[in-house]
Amino acid sequence: MNKIVVVGSSNIDMMAKVSHLPSCGETVCNAVFTHAVGGKGMNQAIAAARLGGDVTFVTALGNDHYADMLSNMLHKEGIVTDYVIYDNENPTGTALIYVSNSGDNCIAVASGANSKLQPELVHTFEKAIRQADIVLMQAEIPYSTIRSTALLAHDLGKKVILNLAPVCQVDSELLAAVDVLVVNEIEGAAVAGIPYSGDNLDEIIERLQLTGIRNIVVTAGSAGAYLLTPFTRIHVPSFKVNAVDTIAAGDTFCGALAVVFEGDYITEENMRYANAASAIAVTRPGATTSIPDAGEVAQFIASQTTVTSISNEKIEQNVKKTVAS
């Protein structure tokens, strides 16, 4: 079991289910409102814990009712909270989310207490990093903290997984400390230094391979995901499911990847596992409510393997019939 330290954000998700995402200046009526715990750090910590990781979460919360909700959730999931920071000056972070009937979403985040997680506090959770196998981060906390944490973890010989979401400018020293970079097409284009046109994924991938990062994972929604190393490029197809919404799908993917990652390189099997966990997540509404546990993922993969075996058997039978005739 990997010992994973997640350093990242915690938010309360304020979510409105709408018929379609509003255009600039448009008001969409008849929305259905819900709220729940979330934040990319929180989601990834919960995903890793449910999938079998030994998880410690480093985050910052306000001193308010929402902080109590988040803390209770972490304890329920068996996540170590010894390094959670409480901020008396700022409220707990909030994410304002629109989700359309088709499952698409757009999100605005008010960082709140997440901005309290500054680099001068990194020494307060150094012990947790020393005891970890993997440090998993996202970009909803200050960049300087991401950088300081990654460099410390790298110096201590720990594996660093960075999900660069939301996208931000990164320097070469940080990238050199990262073992696995996880991005979507838009984030990948930013790292590659080219604009995203919607149909230039091949060019983005070619540019990313030139960065020298040991493992780069590019998630592409229903098109699956790509695993890039300096010398390989593997496409791992997505599983076919009926999507309800895509909130926390990427976070579930990252948490799953942290649980199964061993050695120096991500494997195709690791990618398939993360894809499976993410596929389950998109069939359920919400963020943490959509994240599966290890048993569910194992059962899902087994069911997909069975379907594939039956399909292959039918193909073989058809081939034999054709040859016989």
Amino acid found at 133 = D
- Which residue matches tokens 């970079």? 181
Active site residue 251: yes
pLDDT at 107: 86
pLDDT tens profile 27-51? 999 999 988 899 999 999 999 999 9
- The residue that leads in pLDDT, 210 or 226, is 226
253 close to 182: Cβ distance less than 8 angstroms: yes
Residue 307 has pLDDT above 90, yes or no: no
Ramachandran angles phi, psi of 156, nearest 5°: -90, 5
User: Which residues neighbour 262 within 8 Å (Cβ) at sequence distance 6 or greater?
Assistant: 2
User: Average pLDDT, whole number, for the chain?
Assistant: 91
Residue 320 has pLDDT above 80, yes or no: no
Which residues on neighbouring strands pair with residue 205, listed in sequence order? none
First-to-final CA distance of the chain: 54
Nearest to 226 by CA among 162, 276, 183, 280: 183
Q: What percent of the chain has pLDDT over 70?
A: 94
How much is the average pLDDT of 225-254?
A: 92
Nearest to 141 by CA among 176, 119, 114, 167: 114
pLDDT tens profile 84-98? 999 999 999 998 989
pLDDT at 286: 82
Residue 258 has pLDDT above 90, yes or no: yes
Q: Is 203 exposed, middle or buried (0-12, 13-18, 19+ CB in 10 A)?
A: middle
* Token reading at 102: 């088709």
Catalytic residue selected from 54, 179, 245, 251: 251
Buried b or exposed e, range 38-72, using 16+ CB within 10 angstroms: bbbbbbbbbbbbbbbbbbbbbbbbbebebbebbbe
Q: Which of 7-21, 231-245, 302-316 has the lowest mean pLDDT?
A: 302-316
- Which residue matches tokens 């998700």? 13
pLDDT tens profile 173-219? 999 999 999 999 999 999 999 999 989 999 999 999 888 899 999 99
pTM over 0.85, yes/no? yes
Residue 123: pLDDT band with limits 50, 70, 90:
very high
- The residue that leads in pLDDT, 255 or 106, is 255
28 close to 58: Cβ distance less than 8 angstroms: no
pLDDT at 324: 53
- The residue that leads in pLDDT, 318 or 85, is 85
Domains delineated in the chain: 3-19+32-317 (3.40.1190.20)
Ramachandran angles phi, psi of 14, nearest 5°: -100, 110
Q: Which of 130-134, 187-191, 281-285, 316-320 has the lowest mean pLDDT?
A: 316-320
Nearest to 92 by CA among 71, 111, 73, 76: 111
Residue 322 has pLDDT above 70, yes or no: no
How much is the average pLDDT of 215-234?
A: 92
* Gyration radius (Cα) of the chain, Å: 20
For 8-66, give the DSSP string. Answer: ---EEEEEEEESSPPPTT----S-EEEEEEE-HHHHHHHHHHHTT-EEEEE-EEESSHH
d(CA 218, CA 140): 19
pLDDT tens profile 48-69? 999 999 999 999 999 999 999 9
pLDDT at 305: 65
